[in-house]
Structure 1
Amino acid sequence: MRNPSYINLYALTDEKILSLICEFIRKSRIDQQYSQQELSERAGISRSTLSLIERGTSPTLETLIKILRALDRLETLSELRYEKVVSPLKVAEEDIQERYRVRKKKGTDDPLKSDW
């Protein structure tokens, strides 16, 4: 399979992306020298399900996770981890708005001040 960093995934149809996923599963299985029967047993799915997926049938997310786990390739899902992206402009704005001192609000009395 081609290096994914050179594939413009946004230019591909959903069907083509599904085809790439199925191809990834099939080629990973072959590279690790598993038969369909062996991998399906490791993943806890039927051989016919694996065969259908390798031919382009859309797997459920749960089945995809089982297959990737059986292939020791769960790291391929690491890009799905959400990380908040902070804009450099937002950081700069917050730095500008940083407070350096606190002033007493108008109209508030000092609670420590005594009437005696």
Structure 2
Amino acid sequence: MRFSTMPDSEIISELCRRIKETRIQLGLSQIELAERAQVGAATIKRVELGESVTLSTLIGILRGLDRLHQLESILFDSHMRTFKAQLNAGPPSRVRIRKKTHQPKEKLPAAAQTNEADATINEWYTSSASNSVVWSFTPSDGEKKS
């Protein structure tokens, strides 16, 4: 589903539908979710009907559904731009091009060729891949049905 091509009202309706499906799959009643989210039961009903929801209510509902961790990847693109800006902030380094010689030089081991920036990029990429948003509708093995 491409949210970028949808009007706001359809995006809100889709998010509300996903919240309801997740609640049902977790075996929670609206009242139980309301208690977990620390909001009123009427708020949960309004959300599931597709009405507009405040950001604080959405955060509470995601916390009640044990899905709050999925918000981390919303700002993924912003972190990527900041990271690239920091990486490219230094002055450009000079590069010397030499003519090839007849005798090939010994290659350095792969570990010696990896610089600190490559290690940082790999670490960042791995952590961002594990924190991506995935709207699952089936409980994972670690979750218990209530």
Range of TM-score over shorter length = 0.5 to 0.7
Match of 1:57 in 2: 51
Match runs of 1:27-106 below 5 Å: 27-81=21-75, 82-83=78-79, 84-86=82-84, 94-96=92-94
What RMSD over aligned residues (CA atoms) do the two structures have, in Å? Answer: 2.3
Question: Could you give the per-residue CA deviations for residues 30-50 of structure 1, whole angstroms, max 9, x where no partner exists?
Answer: 010000011101111111110
TM-score (norm 1): 0.67
Within the alignment, does 1:24 sit opposite 2:18 as a pair? yes
Distance 1:95 1:16, change over 3 A: farther
The higher radius of gyration belongs to 1
How far off its partner does 1:75 sit? 2.0
Paired residue type of 1:24: R
Alignment identity in percent? 35
Distance 1:86 1:54, change over 3 A: same
Match of 1:14 in 2: 8
Structure 1 outlier segments of 4+, above 4 Å: none
Distance 1:94 1:20, change over 3 A: farther
Aligned residues: 89
Unaligned runs of 5+ in 1: 1-6, 98-116
TM-score (norm 2): 0.54
